[in-house]
Amino acid sequence: MAYHVLDEAEKCLECKNPSCRKGCPINTPIPTVIKLLKENKLDEAGKILFENNPLTTICSLVCNHEKQCEGNCVLGRKGSPVHFSAIESYISSAYAPKIKNEKSENNGSKIAIVGSGPAGLTIAIVLARYGYQVTIFEGRDRIGGVLRYGIPEFRLPKKVIDDLQYRHLELNGIKIRPNIRIGDAIGVDDLFRDGYKAIFLGTGAWKPRALHIKGETLGHVHFAINYLNNPSVYKLGENVVIIGAGNAAMDVARTAIRNGSRHVTCFSLEQKVAASDYEFRYATLEGVKFRYNLKPVEIVDDGVIFRQVTEYEDGTLEEVEGSDKFYPCDSVIIAISQKPRNSIASKTEGLEATKNGLMVIDEFGHTGRDGIFAAGDVVHGARTVVEAVAHSKMVAESMHRYVQELTGK
């Protein structure tokens, strides 16, 4: 591993205007990090990575590098780009155990974080660095949100999330209240009553998008986000149809194969998959099949009826009447994204949500109620981890400014 990483580092041209950095949603100082690694300054490189991105160990594993840093590397235009994903993973995992108690002096103000997905974790860590007393309220028994319950173990080992909890939450004095949903027994008003100066809402997007076709309620039909939550409790059978071809569909397909399904097919409405090329290639390598330009029109007890779709050059789609065809299967998994459940917005005065359940905020993360901020999937819908981190860093600074003005400090 180390030799491979060092070989990759030696390839870096240390560009004066690095395209790789511009392609990174969180603006990671990639050439600087690589330069420090080549100078045997591993700890300095690691410190820069974590200061820029608290979730660097996670992003190094799950980012869409081919469209971000690596996809913008100038070397990739005529050959192979510098694989910064491997470099970042090596540096961050090697440096992480060296992180010690970095708890800042208490500034006297309390912050409530609702949800412990990528957005909530980022906000908590950034504000803890400023000395805030931070408490995370998590609806499940473990922290991580989509990181733990939406990304398969083979892509993101749970031990990476557990290590982040210890290194960045526990060592920084961040408190965690598991198994509690704000909006049920405790509401936003209760948090303000108990002295929290600001509240962050990062409850994610956990409501599956439905197809709204006949047969969707049948017993062998499941939603991707529910399946990925706990695959071992599902008995899918040998032949599985997955409706959708994005990254979540790839995760479902590869997980189903690992859990014993022999024939797994993803159906795409278009003549291509929405997933990243890497994920598509891995899925293909592992035996997943793909069918294109097919639209589901009805689910029945032993399969799905699909209709052929004509795709024109301008991207428009037209159903081909009379082309319906039955595809047999044991189970069906619908993987066409998800949206927020919107339970807090509907129960809290001053909060506004769109018809799709997305929280309405301004450019700085402010909701319609003073002291309440939001970011991540609950605002933008299902996006990438690094996009959530990047937006949440900005919102954390906005929250810091708000509390400073509120307290006069």
Record the tokens describing residue 69, joined without a space.
């840093």
DSSP 317: E
Per-residue pLDDT averaged across 268-297, rounded? 96
Give the CATH superfamily of 2-98: Alpha-helical ferredoxin (1.10.1060.10)
**Would you say residue 347 has pLDDT above 90?**
no
Average pLDDT of the residues of the chain: 93
> What stretch of H or E contains 241?
strand 239-243
Dist. CA 90–CA 401, nearest whole Å: 35
With a pLDDT cut of 90, the percent of the chain lying above it is 83
With a pLDDT cut of 70, the percent of the chain lying above it is 98
**pLDDT band (50, 70, 90) for residue 356:** confident
Q: Are 151 and 117 in contact (CB under 8 A)?
A: no
Name the H helices within 186-246: 188-193, 224-229
> Each residue of 206-234: pLDDT tens digit?
899 999 999 999 999 999 999 999 999 99
Q: In what order do the strands lie in the sheet with 289-291?
A: 221-223, 331-334, 239-243, 263-267, 289-291
> Each residue of 48-80: pLDDT tens digit?
999 999 999 999 999 999 899 999 999 998 889
> Each residue of 135-152: pLDDT tens digit?
999 999 999 999 999 999
Q: Are 282 and 250 in contact (CB under 8 A)?
A: yes
Q: Which CATH architecture has domain 210-336?
A: 3-Layer(bba) Sandwich (3.50)
**pLDDT band (50, 70, 90) for residue 101:** low
Q: Are 167 and 50 in contact (CB under 8 A)?
A: no
Q: Are 394 and 200 in contact (CB under 8 A)?
A: no
Q: Which range (81-90, 98-107, 190-199, 273-282) has the least confidence? A: 98-107
> What is the residue extent of each domain of the chain?
2-98, 110-206+339-407, 210-336
Torsion of CA 274, 66, 115, 108, to 10 degrees: -150
The answer to whether the 110-206+339-407 and 210-336 domains have the same CATH topology is: yes
Q: What is the pTM of this model?
A: 0.93
All residues at 6 or more sequence positions from 13 whose CB lies less than 8 Å from its CB, including other chains: 74, 75
CATH of domain 110-206+339-407: 3.50.50.60
Q: What is the DSSP string of 57-119?
A: HHHHHHS-GGGTTGGG-GGGGTSPPP-HHHHHHHHHHHHGGG----PPPP-S-EEEEE--SHH
Record the tokens describing residue 178, joined without a space.
């598991």
Torsion of CA 367, 104, 165, 90, to 10 degrees: 110
> What stretch of H or E contains 33?
helix 30-38
Residue 223, classed as helix, strand or coil, is strand
Interstrand relation of 338-339 and 207-208 (parallel, antiparallel or unpaired): antiparallel
Q: Are 202 and 114 in contact (CB under 8 A)?
A: yes
Q: Are 283 and 272 in contact (CB under 8 A)?
A: no
> Each residue of 88-97: pLDDT tens digit?
999 999 999 8
Residue 290, classed as helix, strand or coil, is strand
Q: ∠ at Cα 191 (149, 401), nearest 5°?
A: 90
DSSP 231: G
> Each residue of 109-136: pLDDT tens digit?
999 999 999 999 999 999 999 999 999 9
Q: Are 242 and 333 in contact (CB under 8 A)?
A: yes
Neighbours of 262 (CB within 10 A): 11
Torsion of CA 254, 256, 261, 265, to 10 degrees: -60
> Each residue of 385-408: pLDDT tens digit?
999 999 999 999 999 999 999 998
- Cα first-last separation, the chain: 48
